[in-house]
Structure 1
Amino acid sequence: MKKLTLIFVIIFSNVAFGNKIDELKTDKDVEDFIKTVAPKFIKKVWKDFDYGNFRIVPTDSIYTNLKCQKIFNQSDINNWKKVDINNDGLTDLLFIPHYYGYSQYAIIDQGSNNFKLTRFIIDFAICEYVKPIKVKDKNELQIRKVNLPFDFDDNIEKYIKIDTLTYKFNSFIELNDKVIIDNKIKSIEVKTDYCYGTCPVFKLTINKNGLAEFDGIEFTKFRGKSINQFDPKNVAEIFDLLNYIEIKKLKDYYEVNYTDASTATLHIIFEDGSIKKIKDYGLSGTYGLSALYSKLTKLATETEWK
């Protein structure tokens, strides 16, 4: 009787708590599911302006409207695709909605009916895209980026960069398949400045044992200077991320090709006294850096400073 009860519990648990993404079959299923994960997509704009109404459209329609036939292969484009992106045994969702134009998102199943929505930093108008690939029997994402400078010309193909993204540190970052070297980082400092809007403006310094100094300048919950002790696990993850993205090898300056963005300035201080400085206008120099800024901004804006 105990064995039968156990079998029943296992079967019932799989039915009740199974992966919802596995059950998706139609475009309507996918659209409805995405709206439960991200209610922001439910909001309707005025009826005569359909551009901002979220919807999943057929793949053929996406391919035709992008006008990238000479660059895209049609097989590269899927309006949605189920794939275990982070190789944890749970099915995730990669999708292209029409929402103020086309872009690409992923929903990661984190288990226990928890899902995380991520938007990729791409621009379909210039034929960028993300697609699943296999790397050493693991699922990863190939990203096709077009890095346009301010003074770019019409030959977009010369600005194309193909890279591979992996899901680590709870973020999509560039895959590093080499042996990770400990760069012996002593501390990290980030300063952000103003943008056209309400971007948080602050300075945050964290040393390797978790002691943090904060100066909230504008658009932060806490204004002024404060000191706090962070959880060593959170700090270790940030320092591990810095080593994984090979912070020493990154460029010293990045910029987006539009205006009114915020700038992040990093100072990474190493135990040997050397310093790596990175200035990033737009906070999107690399996916690894974007993940770093996101984690640092969360610590800066969500910590209960006193």
Structure 2
Amino acid sequence: MKNTIVIGILLLNLSLLFGQNIDELNTNKKVAKFLEKEINKKYTFKKVFDKEVEADEEDFKYFVKRIDLDNNGFTDLVVNAYMPLIIVLNNGDKDYKELNFRNTRFFSDNEPELDSIAEIGNGKVLIFETEIQEYDDTNYPNIKIRESQKKLSYNNKTKESEWVIRDVKFKVDSLTVKYGELVNYRQKTPKENKIKELYFSTTGCYGSCPVFEIQLKSNRDLEYNGKRFTNHPGLESFKLNQTDYDNLIGLIEYSELEKLNDFYSVNWTDDQTGKLKVIYENGDIKEIQDYGLQGTTNLQAIYKKLFEINNNVK
């Protein structure tokens, strides 16, 4: 009997030591423990879960979703109990990656809320809704209106906030996971346009933004120049590994840069600019200059990959 108790305690301690996989996360406390260990953001879930009595099964399924978002055979984690929503991709062998979808508009407190996860064909599509100002509706292609909502509004005449009944507008984003990043969902497969080489460079900002240049060719040869605030100052040449190359090029081809604007800009100052130039095998050239690096969701995913390359050059 004593041996059984000792073995049980040892197994429990081993479970806590090595953690649990996502399929085993069936309570709030287990989710919080997993995220503290694997994502290392203690502030993120302690405030949400520590104040709660353990949620019942129905509430838990609402807040926590375990689903294979990218069809790689491993269960991913979606936690809808905190703003902004947090997604953890599972790449197998306890290799986890956090994804975020944020509202990048200036002076806005409204974060995207997950409305639902739809299954379309073999893919999973996350439907986000973000409240917008009335005058912003022309800036977004997909708008949803909720009528007669009670909202706190500022009265310019009385100089006070007051409750009013009005229609509220939301922009709707349909996102899916491709190449390890959140991107806009596309029903049609993009037309293939093979990439010959690409160039990417950044400028400085009011702060310590990394300033670097990357030239990448179709044979995976990469020329790097770290200029300021980089792990590796100066020139470096190497061959990008196949997985990173395939993911970056796959994102660019999926995003169909030819259909995007040539210029993007945020509405604040002192940020950095990214310049992306892609040369295709058919001779086409696409150049994008993006002040603030927030142009589109897909561009943000591409920049993320390029900044990861910069961070990995030592």
User: TM-score higher than 0.5 here?
Assistant: yes
Q: Deviations over 1:157-178 (max 9, x none)?
A: 5544423222121112122332
Distance 1:216 1:22 in 2: 42
CA deviation profile, 1:52-77 (whole Å, cap 9, x unmatched): 8852259x9xxxxxxxxxxxxxx9x9
Letter in 2 for 1:106: I
Letter matched to residue 120 of structure 1: F
2:38 is the alignment partner of 1:42 = no
Paired AA for residue 144 in structure 1 = E
Return the letter of the residue paired with 1:282: G
Which residue in the other structure is 1:216 paired with?
A: 226
Is residue 56–residue 96 contact of structure 1 (8 Å, CA) maintained in 2? no
> Structure 1, residues 50-105: CA drift from partner, whole Å, max 9, x if none?
xx8852259x9xxxxxxxxxxxxxx9x9543222222334332212455xxx2111
**Structure 1 residues 1-306: aligned runs within 5 Å:** 20-39=21-40, 41-42=41-42, 54-56=46-48, 78-96=62-80, 98=82, 102-122=83-103, 125-126=109-110, 128-130=112-114, 131-145=116-130, 154-157=134-137, 159=140, 160=143, 161-304=171-314
Give the total of aligned pairs. 257
State the distance in 2 between where 1:37 and 1:18 align: 9
Residue 197 of structure 1 and its aligned partner are, at CA, apart by: 3.0
Q: Distance in 2 between matches of 1:289 and 1:192?
A: 14
Q: TM-score, normalized by length of structure 2? A: 0.70
**Percent identity, aligned pairs only?**
30
**In 2 relative to 1, CA 111–267 (structure 1 residues): closer, same or farther, beyond 3 Å?**
same
- The one-letter code matched in structure 2 to 1:121 is R
Query: Counterpart amino acid of 2:277?
Result: H
AA paired with 2:96?
F
Distance across 1 between alignment mates of 2:26 and 2:136: 36
Seen in structure 2, the aligned counterparts of structure 1 residues 19 and 178 have a Cα distance that, compared at 3 Å, is farther
> Which range is displaced more, 195-204 or 78-87?
78-87
Contact 1:141/1:166 (<8 A) preserved? yes
Amino acid at match of 2:42: I
Aligned-pair Cα RMSD in Å: 3.3
Cα distance in structure 2, aligned partners of 1:216 and 1:81: 41
SS in 2 for 1:186: strand
Which residue identity lines up with residue 112 of structure 1 in the other structure? Answer: D
- Structure with greater Cα Rg: 2
Q: Aligned pair in 2 of structure 1 residues 19, 163: CA closer, same or farther (>3 Å)?
A: same
Local SS of the residue matching 2:47: coil
Q: Secondary structure at the match of 2:48?
A: coil
Question: Aligned in 2, Cα 1:176/1:53: closer, same or farther, shift over 3 Å?
Answer: closer
Residue 182 (structure 1) shift: 2.4
TM-score, scaled to structure 1:
0.71
**Equivalent residues of 1:241, 1:292 under 8 A apart:** yes
Question: 8 Å contact 1:261–1:281 — kept in the other structure?
Answer: yes
Contact 1:163/1:174 (CA < 8 Å) preserved in 2? Answer: yes
1:82/1:91 contact within 8 Å kept: yes
Determine if contact 1:54/1:97 at 8 Å carries over to the other structure. Answer: no
Instruction: Give unmatched runs, 5+ long, in structure 1.
Output: 1-15, 44-51, 61-74
Paired residue type of 2:244:
N
CA deviation after TM superposition for structure 1 residue 261, in Å: 2.8
Using the TM superposition, name which of 223-232 and 276-285 deviates more.
223-232
Gaps of at least 5 residues in structure 2 are 1-14, 53-58, 144-170
Greater shift, 224-233 or 190-199, is seen at 224-233
More strand per residue: 2
Task: Note closer, same or farther for the CA distance 1:18–1:228 as it changes in structure 2 (3 Å cut).
Answer: closer
